[in-house]
Structure 1
Amino acid sequence: MTAWLATTLLLVLTFAAFAAALWLYRLNRGRPTLQALMHPLVTGPLMVSGILVASHIDYDQYREANQLFFFLLGTTTVALAIPLHQQFHHISRLFRPLIITLIFGASFAVASALVIAWLLGGSIETLISLAPKSVTTPIALGLSEKIGGLPALTAGVVVFTGVVGAVLGPLIFRWLGITDDRIIGFVTGICAHGVGTTRAFEISARCGAFASLGLGMTGALTAFSLPWLVIFFLD
Structure 2
Amino acid sequence: MSEFSWLTVGRLVVDHPLFPVGLTLLAFQFALWLYRRSGWLVLQPVMVSMLLVVGTLLACGMDYATYREGAAPIAFLLGPVTIALAVPLYNNIKRIRLLAMPVLLTVLVGGTLTVMLTLLIAHSMGAQLPVLASLSGKSVTMPIAMLVAEQLGGLASLAAVFVMLTGVIGTALGPWLLGLFKVTHPAARGLSYGINAHAIGTARALEESSECGAFAALGMSLLGVISAVLLPLLMGWVLAGL
TM over 0.5: yes
- After superposing on structure 2, the runs of 4+ consecutive aligned residues of structure 1 that deviate more than 6 Å are none
Distance 1:58 1:78, change over 3 A: same
- The one-letter code of the counterpart of 2:23 is L
- The one-letter code of the counterpart of 1:67 is A
- Equivalent residue for 1:79? 84
Distance 1:74 1:131, change over 3 A: farther
- Equivalent residue for 1:180? 185
- Equivalent residue for 2:101? 96
Identical columns (%): 39
1:117-136 equivalences in 2 (<5 Å): 117-136=122-141
- Equivalent residue for 2:62? 57
- CA RMSD in angstroms comes to 2.3
Q: 1:26 aligns with which of 33, 36, 43?
A: 36
TM-score, normalised to structure 2's length? 0.85
Mapped to 2, the partners of 1:195 and 1:80 lie a distance apart of 13
1:1-235 equivalences in 2 (<5 Å): 5-28=15-38, 34-232=39-237
Using the TM superposition, name which of 170-179 and 57-66 deviates more: 57-66
- Consecutive unaligned residues of structure 2, counting only runs of 5 or more, are 1-10
Deviations 1:34-67 (A, max 9, x none): 4312221232222223223333333343333323
Question: Displacement, 1:193?
Answer: 0.7
Question: Displacement, 1:76?
Answer: 2.1
Q: Is the 8 A contact 2:31 2:48 kept in 1?
A: yes
- Equivalent residue for 1:31? none
Mapped to 1, the partners of 2:232 and 2:100 lie a distance apart of 26
TM-score, normalised to structure 1's length? 0.88
| Number of residue pairs aligned between Structure 1 and Structure 2 | 230
Q: Is the 8 A contact 2:136 2:235 kept in 1?
A: no
Higher-Rg structure is 2
Distance 1:75 1:121, change over 3 A: farther
Mapped to 1, the partners of 2:49 and 2:98 lie a distance apart of 39
Question: Displacement, 1:101?
Answer: 1.3
Mapped to 2, the partners of 1:126 and 1:67 lie a distance apart of 28
Mapped to 2, the partners of 1:233 and 1:112 lie a distance apart of 10
Q: Is the 8 A contact 1:105 1:191 kept in 2?
A: no
Distance 1:88 1:46, change over 3 A: same
Deviations 1:191-229 (A, max 9, x none): 111111011000011000000110011011111101223
Mapped to 1, the partners of 2:238 and 2:36 lie a distance apart of 47
Q: Is the 8 A contact 1:73 1:138 kept in 2?
A: no
User: What is the DSSP-based 3-state SS (H/G/I as helix, E as strand, rest coil) of the residue aligned with 1:37?
Assistant: coil
Q: Is the 8 A contact 2:130 2:155 kept in 1?
A: yes
- Equivalent residue for 2:7? none
- Consecutive unaligned residues of structure 1, counting only runs of 5 or more, are 29-33
Mapped to 2, the partners of 1:185 and 1:212 lie a distance apart of 8
Q: Is the 8 A contact 2:14 2:60 kept in 1?
A: no
